[in-house]
Amino acid sequence: VPRNRADVSREEKLDEIVEAARDRLVDGGYSALSVADLARQLGLAQAAIYWYFPTKDHLLVAAVDRILKDILERKPRRGTAVTRVLWFAEQLHEFQDLRLTIRERAARAEVVAAFERDVVSLFRVMLANSLSECVGPDQLDDTADAVMALCEGVLLRDISAAHRRRVLKLGVERLLVPAS
Amino acid sequence: VPRNRADVSREEKLDEIVEAARDRLVDGGYSALSVADLARQLGLAQAAIYWYFPTKDHLLVAAVDRILKDILERKPRRGTAVTRVLWFAEQLHEFQDLRLTIRERAARAEVVAAFERDVVSLFRVMLANSLSECVGPDQLDDTADAVMALCEGVLLRDISAAHRRRVLKLGVERLLVPAS
DNA sequence: ACCTGAACACCGTTCAAGT
DNA sequence: ACCTGAACACCGTTCAAGT
């Protein structure tokens, strides 16, 4: 006997699913995000999820997008370019596992690939903006790429927050100095 | 009717499995490595694989280890520290997808976590060795970490070989210059 | 429009049983 | 020591059928 929740708005139902997916993702990663399990928790049939998301990867994108928006909500305050980059990297640390998930799924699903492109270019723009005041326009692009790579590489490693911060600081300071 | 291949040495049979796993991994990634599928290809029952590898992750480690050893076989030639790092990064590029797989599985399986620690420390030693001739001993550790992060971060991104090389070159050159 | 129940074709892993 | 067959408890996805 399919219960029909025509009374509840589409947005609310969508929100419920994304929120549940988000929770799973945050504390268990991709392997903890199971459509079957999610439906069970929400008291739905597995197939119900597919009414809202044609694919598990679509759900993944929706959930990760929400997580990311939450992180970006806490806006960087003013400061030098170096401190702003450090702050940025620190915010992204908790996002790194999902970053890798996105990277891996992007090879399998076009939705995820498109999402990854959007996120990366958003980050690059934000970073280039931050750096534009202390790097010449001719070197801005490559410098931004190098700083971004440094950040992602540092976040990839499983080291202490203090160690991470030290390496990032050293790296960013040197990268922001004109080549000798 | 279990065929018993007591005539074939254990090593040969092990080798056969690892080789097949390696093939799948190289051109399809982790999701293409299926114990069931592997057994099918080798004409074995699924359970037969488990006589040699207690877990899919054990098989993963064995296969990735072989892939990595093959890459490291092509030994870096002499040159400046910068060119050697560039060469190194280029070699590792094809390994990057598997690097991420290892990173993700490490959170789930201790075998993979141990393997990751070994590989990372091996790389760090090689890199520190290369850098020791142009970086002071007091800054060697952090510089090596920064260079390694830069490499991993650059490899993470899906950009052209030329772009990658340019960013790496700029980054490494600046990182190897004493801070101002 | 929304949801169910049941099926499909997969997984990784375990285990009693055979040689 | 080595391997099979069959089971277990999962997956993601599809689809006819119901309200």
Distance, Å, A46 CA → C7 C1': 13
Nearest to A115, CA basis, from A56, A64, A52, A49: A64
For testing contact with chain B, the best of A82, A99, A103 (most B CBs within 10 A): A103
What is the predicted pLDDT for the residue at B9?
86
Per-residue DSSP letters for B22-86? Answer: HHHHHHH-GGG--HHHHHHHHT--HHHHHHH-SSHHHHHHHHHHHHHHHHHHS---S--HHHHHH
CA distance B73 to B97: 19
For testing contact with chain B, the best of A25, A152, A177 (most B CBs within 10 A): A152
CA distance A64 to A21: 9
Residue A7: CB less than 7 A from any atom in strand C: no
Quick one: closest CA in A to B113, which residue?
A158
Which of A108, A153, A177 shows the shortest C-beta gap to B149? A153
Which of B101, B103, B173 shows the shortest C-beta gap to A156? B103
Total-model pTM: 0.91
**pLDDT (tens digit per residue) in A30-74:** 999 999 999 999 999 999 999 999 999 999 999 999 999 999 888
CA distance B32 to B54: 19
**pLDDT (tens digit per residue) in B116-163:** 999 999 999 999 999 998 899 999 999 999 999 999 999 988 899 999
The residues of the protein lying within 7 Å (CB) of strand D read A 1-2, 4, 33-37, 46-47, 50, 54-57; B 1-6, 8, 10, 13, 39, 43-48, 51
